[in-house]
Structure 1
Amino acid sequence: MKPNHKGSARLFKNPFLEKLTRTHIALPISIFLTIAVGMLYYGITHSFINILEAIGFFFIGWLIFTLLEYLAHRYLFHMDTDTPLKARLQYLFHGNHHEYPKDKKRLAMPPVVSILYASAFFFIFKVIFGTFVFGVVAGILFGYAMYLFVHYIVHAYPPPRNFLKQLWIHHSIHHYKDPEAAYGVSSPLWDYILGTMPKRSR
């Protein structure tokens, strides 16, 4: 799909649903950072976890998020579009972003959808981690907020003249050169591990 630097896709005929698909990036980032801090505070002050456990499991959650980000981007957002339903879903989830990568209000899922995902993560990871869930899910939500921040700035601003420039290069390769590589946005970690680092020529 050829990227268009201007404009925005129309996803729904219903104006209310269409409006729900747009959000200023500051809103979801603020929501998830607040929830992450609140979970750590609640878990520590109610003695579900101590400070060292909170720190350790926070970083475990952040690492888990980077893997979830990679897997979702690679296998869900870039799913095979071999049926009309899959093609429609892929376009709603991600295809519209590849067509209009400069559409700043479509760089995050609507907060309502994201909160539903966050709630599901809490109950799933509570089964796995027990009371350590307060640290793990705080790390996941922090990771998601960082992903949204990185994704926004690499589309909205020119790259800096420092080592962070590699994030801009990595994501630009995914958008404009090889959409089947460079799936990591906030970090190329899993691209290195799982063999989807793009081949770059000088």
Structure 2
Amino acid sequence: MENNNINQRRKPNNKGTKRLFKNPMLEKMTRTHISVPISLLLAYAAGMLIWAIYRTNVPVSNSVALYFLGLFSFTFVEYALHRFVYHMRATTERQRKIQYTMHGVHHEFPKDKDRLALPPVISLSIATALLFLLRLVIGDYTFGFLSGFVTGYSLYLFMHYIMHAYPPPKNFMKKLWVYHSIHHYKDETVYYGVSSPLWDFVFGTVYK
């Protein structure tokens, strides 16, 4: 019987790490300190918001509204990517290898702090690609929207990191730690939202 579930194949190891590539350059690119992508992405987002306000004809109020729309939109994209891409139903060995490289290694070694974010060069490349693509569709409205979207990704990286690196706080935020722990240690088919559990409740992917 084929196993399509990452955690069915490998149990979490909270103290370990694993080499993914024999090539040292490729292996190095899979690791990054969390402060590097967060700092670069927040600077990127700030630059786009400043551009939206001072270098376009879009009203400031509209740019601010688009910023928050982008921030909210990221929570859905985060959920969808985590559920349908990172936890895709791998049916071939190649798909399983891709899945493991993208996300399975994180499930096997959830406390490996250097692998809690995409390498900065990949994150910035994706953000820049989105910038060009969205400009073709919505023009100057892109800057406000994408600024919020990238900020959302930065907040996700921060939340994901502290959930794995620190114990839960003694306040309402504790539930986010609990949900993510359930995803990692009990049932990986629930709680795909990290920065927000909203879409898990909307689509019913909560722990029964």
Give the structure-2-normalised TM-score: 0.93
> C-alpha offsets along residues 113-142 of structure 1, whole Å, 9 cap, x if unaligned?
111111121123223322110111001100
Matching of residue 131 in structure 1 with residue 140 in structure 2: yes
Give the structure-1-normalised TM-score: 0.96
Report how far residue 57 of structure 1 moved.
0.2
Distance between the aligned counterparts of 1:48 and 1:116, measured in 2? 26
> C-alpha offsets along residues 88-112 of structure 1, whole Å, 9 cap, x if unaligned?
1000100000000000000000011
What 5-or-longer segments of structure 1 have no aligned partner?
none
Match of 1:120 in 2: 129
Kindly provide the amino acid, as one letter, of the partner of residue 21 in structure 1. Answer: T
Kindly provide the amino acid, as one letter, of the partner of residue 143 in structure 2. Answer: F
Give the one of 16, 22, 27 matched to 1:13: 22
Q: How many residues get paired? A: 199
Match of 1:182 in 2: 191
Over 3 Å off, 4+ runs: none
Give the one of 51, 54, 77 matched to 2:86: 77
- Preserved contact between residue 23 and residue 106 of structure 1 (Cα < 8 Å): yes
Report how far residue 54 of structure 1 moved.
1.4
Say which SS state the counterpart of residue 163 (structure 1) adopts: coil
Distance between the aligned counterparts of 1:43 and 1:63, measured in 2? 18
> C-alpha offsets along residues 68-100 of structure 1, whole Å, 9 cap, x if unaligned?
111110011001121111011000100000000
- Preserved contact between residue 146 and residue 186 of structure 1 (Cα < 8 Å): yes
Distance between the aligned counterparts of 1:47 and 1:140, measured in 2? 19
Kindly provide the amino acid, as one letter, of the partner of residue 46 in structure 1. Answer: R
Question: 5 Å matches for 1:37-76?
Answer: 37-76=46-85
- Preserved contact between residue 182 and residue 198 of structure 1 (Cα < 8 Å): yes
Of 184-193 and 123-132, deviating more is 123-132
Give the one of 147, 153, 166 matched to 2:156: 147
Distance between the aligned counterparts of 1:124 and 1:71, measured in 2? 20
Say which SS state the counterpart of residue 140 (structure 2) adopts: helix
Say which SS state the counterpart of residue 72 (structure 2) adopts: helix
Identical aligned residues as a percent: 52
- Preserved contact between residue 48 and residue 132 of structure 1 (Cα < 8 Å): no
What 5-or-longer segments of structure 2 have no aligned partner?
1-9
- Preserved contact between residue 8 and residue 100 of structure 1 (Cα < 8 Å): yes
Report how far residue 63 of structure 1 moved.
1.3
Question: 5 Å matches for 1:165-176?
Answer: 165-176=174-185
Distance between the aligned counterparts of 1:25 and 1:64, measured in 2? 23
Match of 2:37 in 1: 28
Give the one of 178, 196, 202 matched to 1:193: 202
- Preserved contact between residue 39 and residue 138 of structure 1 (Cα < 8 Å): yes
Question: 5 Å matches for 1:157-172?
Answer: 157-172=166-181
Distance between the aligned counterparts of 1:47 and 1:177, measured in 2? 49
